[in-house]
């Protein structure tokens, strides 16, 4: 995430109250949720948040090490590059006047029925690096989302989707959503062929076991898919943080903001901030493995439903 968030506002509390009854009275889920590899999910998180990755700041040795690890994992999963190569370098002005060199990693799972329409499942792999000699491991932000995307990619490879799914691991998010913006300027596939972006940023821990899903309120086409996922999610999935002004609205707080700016539908999954947010203490052993696994499974289920019944683009 880019910015510190403020605590929950009344709107969120109301949303929670409105959705709680259905959660409480829901029948035990009898549907088969996607079965992700929980051991690999945790291994990937620990590897990415290891001190040797030096906080994965864009343009650093640590960022390059993370990329080497991720490239090997994407190859192991058996994914094809989206373009000529999985590595998609970019230059960006970033904040201030210094130019930033970043590298997105872009792979694809080809769709079986509509291979020319795309769902973009994404997470940023960069974090804030080393400050005053201290490594900021970014275990939750966002080794958790990155590892989840790998797990979802592996599941999709074994259960081929109808539409193509672009697996996007962004660089430079912490410097202003640089990777996602570079992806869209210009995009490697026509904008109108992108069904939606599903972005994950911080899905590894929450004291209350709550995961937020943003995007439903401003995008009615997404609301029914979100509601259906709430009904079967193995975590307390709460729609919200997608209306109003200020930092309680998370629309532009992570890479989905770049898609919103281009008029592409998006959905964002993430948790409330915790005291270790953007601190050296955002370490792997503070991740809650059970919650983390259930969050990744929840997003995989949302992607499965989105692929099965993608909403119509409002303007197409």
Of the two residues 126 and 307, which places its CB atom closer to Zn ion in the complex? Answer: 126
CB atoms closer than 10 angstroms to residue 19: 18
Of the two residues 56 and 294, which places its CB atom closer to Zn ion in the complex? Answer: 56
Of the two residues 128 and 184, which places its CB atom closer to Zn ion in the complex? Answer: 128
**If residue 298 lies in a helix (H) or strand (E), which one and from where to where?**
helix 289-308
Length of the chain: 316
Question: Least distance in Å: CB of 142 to Zn ion?
Answer: 7
Helix, strand, coil fractions of the chain, as percent rounded to 5:
40, 20, 40
Question: Least distance in Å: CB of 2 to Zn ion?
Answer: 6
Question: Least distance in Å: CB of 225 to Zn ion?
Answer: 26
Question: Least distance in Å: CB of 138 to Zn ion?
Answer: 7
Q: Are strands 266-270 and 194-200 parallel, antiparallel or unpaired?
A: parallel
Of the two residues 50 and 126, which places its CB atom closer to Zn ion in the complex? Answer: 126
Question: Least distance in Å: CB of 92 to Zn ion?
Answer: 17
On whether the CB atoms of residues 82 and 169 are closer than 8 A, the answer is: no
Q: Give the tokens for residue 53.
A: 């990755």
**If residue 80 lies in a helix (H) or strand (E), which one and from where to where?**
strand 80-81
**If residue 212 lies in a helix (H) or strand (E), which one and from where to where?**
strand 210-214
Q: Give the tokens for residue 296.
A: 């990744």
Question: Least distance in Å: CB of 176 to Zn ion?
Answer: 11
Of the two residues 118 and 292, which places its CB atom closer to Zn ion in the complex? Answer: 292
The residues of the shown chain that bind Zn ion, judged by CB under 5 A, are: 1, 141
Backbone angles phi, psi at 158, to 5 degrees: -80, -20
Single out the residue of 141, 148, 181, 171 nearest to residue 66, CA to CA.
Answer: 171
Of the two residues 148 and 219, which places its CB atom closer to Zn ion in the complex? Answer: 148
On whether the CB atoms of residues 63 and 126 are closer than 8 A, the answer is: yes
């Amino acid at each position: 995430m880019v910015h510190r968030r403020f605590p929950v506002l009344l709107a969120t509390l109301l949303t929670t109250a409105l959705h709680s009854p259905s959660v409480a009275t829901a029948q035990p889920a009898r549907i088969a949720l996607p079965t992700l590899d929980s051991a690999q999910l945790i291994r990937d998180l620990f590897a990415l948040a290891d001190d040797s990755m030096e906080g994965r700041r864009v343009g650093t040795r640590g960022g390059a090490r993370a990329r080497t690890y991720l490239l090997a994992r994407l190859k192991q999963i058996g994914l094809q590059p989206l373009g000529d190569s999985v590595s998609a370098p970019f230059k960006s002005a970033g904040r201030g006047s210094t130019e930033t060199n970043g590298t997105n990693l872009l792979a694809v799972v080809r769709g079986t029925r509509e291979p020319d329409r795309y769902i973009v499942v994404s997470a940023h792999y960069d974090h804030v690096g080393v400050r005053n000699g201290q490594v900021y491991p970014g275990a939750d932000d966002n080794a958790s989302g990155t590892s989840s995307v790998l797990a979802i990619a592996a599941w999709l490879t074994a259960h081929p989707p109808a539409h193509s799914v672009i697996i996007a691991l962004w660089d430079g998010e912490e410097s202003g959503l640089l990777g996602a913006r570079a992806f869209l300027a210009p995009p490697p596939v026509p904008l109108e062929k992108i069904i939606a972006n599903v972005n994950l940023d911080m899905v590894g821990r929450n004291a209350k076991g709550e995961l937020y899903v943003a995007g439903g309120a401003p995008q009615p086409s997404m609301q029914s898919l979100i509601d259906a996922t709430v009904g079967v999610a193995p975590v307390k999935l709460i729609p919200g943080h997608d209306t109003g002004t200020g930092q309680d609205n998370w629309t532009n707080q992570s890479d989905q903001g770049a898609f919103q700016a281009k008029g592409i539908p998006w959905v964002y999954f993430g948790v409330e901030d915790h005291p270790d947010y953007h601190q050296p203490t955002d370490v792997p052993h503070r991740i809650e493995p059970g919650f983390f696994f259930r969050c990744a499974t929840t997003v995989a289920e949302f992607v499965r439903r989105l692929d099965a019944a993608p909403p119509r683009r409002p303007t197409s």
